[in-house]
Amino acid sequence: MEEIGVAIIDQGVDFSYHRLTSSAAAEEVTLPREAGKAGESKSMLYHGTNVASIIHYLAPASRIISIRLDTEKITVDLLCRALEYCAQRKDVHIINISLGIVRSSPPEILRQACMKCYHNGQVVIAAAHHETSYPCYPAAFPTVIGVGTGIFRRMQDFCYVGEGYINVLAKGIHQRIQGESGKPAIRSGTSYAAAALSGRLAYIYQQDIQSRHIPVANLLQRYSVPGRSTHYPLAADMQSDRKPLPEYIADKRWMLFAVDDECIQPYFEDPRVAMVMNYPMDPIDAYGALVRKSGKKVIPGIVSPKMLEFIDVLIVGNFFSNTNLINTYFGYQLIDFFRAHGKRIETTDPYIQTLLDGASVVATPSILEPT
């Protein structure tokens, strides 16, 4: 079995953490803000330590190389230095970056650094930001595997979704990890989804040495399983006009869902709307109050067969715009419920339409060629 080197670019790893003490091969390299001026603080180690523990759990025989960025604020220059360092090492096969920089335009020097690693045959895996109004770099570069969070039961499961900003969905939610205080905690995030993919890919490489000669996108597609996203796509990719609701449902009884979607709100006062479904998590009654101004009946976010007696069509908006995962889960549950009972579902949102069509779990072939 070949040893696979996984470099973790983060703020350091505490290799004395009990989930890492069984790691047979570990190394740390510190990149200080200025040459020769490394800091001593370990207050930020928990993030990198958790990333390393996930990778080690999935690929226990891999060599973990911690590229410690000795700073509280990640900068483009430091990321570039870390990538340049990795590019010089032939024993680094996978580079995990469970962080990034959100900005409207890509940093050219960071793009070049990622390109260098790509041409060296190294796989750069980076976390996308959960909020997709603007891209997060380096995840958004075409030579990098951008990772978002998906809904999966097993840590090793992931869904390859093809080209674009987010290429892979992996398990990043409900992770039992070390909290900031050092005590166990339940956390979620794309950081841990990226780590899960890095660990899974390292394990695949270890088990099949020939797999390293397969284009990584094709390899990921081979091991992909169906999954559901917890993200709305990058806003810049979804600028197509919202479609109007079909005329043939004009005489049906509607129920609206995702009341925070501005494209759903104009229908509040439509006489065809029989009721509006609120989110299950609305602690300050913000969404319910918004609808009641129109005089429509607001029902709590609970799935019940009783409502099918009064509803012909479910109109779904963008239920990803709020950050509560329970509300996202409920959106999928509501869609599944109406489908199971043969009820019609419509939307004005192009991405929600892909979910209704089932396209969200179909992997599109891609070689991730640089542009």
Residue-wise DSSP of 161-182? --SSS--EEEE-SSEEEE-TTS
For residues 276 and 311, the answer to whether their CB atoms sit within 8 Å is: no
Distance CA 18, CA 84 (A): 31
Q: What angle do CA 130, 55, 23 make, to 5 degrees?
A: 150
Contact 52, 8 (CB under 8 A): yes
Confirm whether 10 is a catalytic residue: yes
Length of the chain in terms of residues written: 371
H-helix or E-strand spanning residue 150: strand 145-151
For the question of residue 104 being annotated catalytic, the response is: no
Q: Is-catalytic flag, 349?
A: no
The answer to whether 8 and 48 have CB atoms below 8 angstroms apart is yes
CA 171 to chain centre: 8
Report the C-alpha gap between 66 and 49 in whole angstroms: 9
Among 53, 98, 191, 366, which one carries the catalytic annotation? 191
How far apart are the C-alpha atoms of 218 and 150, rounded to whole Å? 20
The number of CA neighbours under 13 Å toward the Cβ of 142 is 7
Cα atoms in the Cβ-side hemisphere of radius 13 Å centred on 157: 14
Q: Whole-angstrom Cα distance, residue 343 to residue 321?
A: 25
Query: How many angstroms separate the CA atoms of 369 and 28, rounded?
Result: 31
Which tokens go with 127? 């976390």
Q: Which residues are identified as catalytic?
A: 10, 47, 191
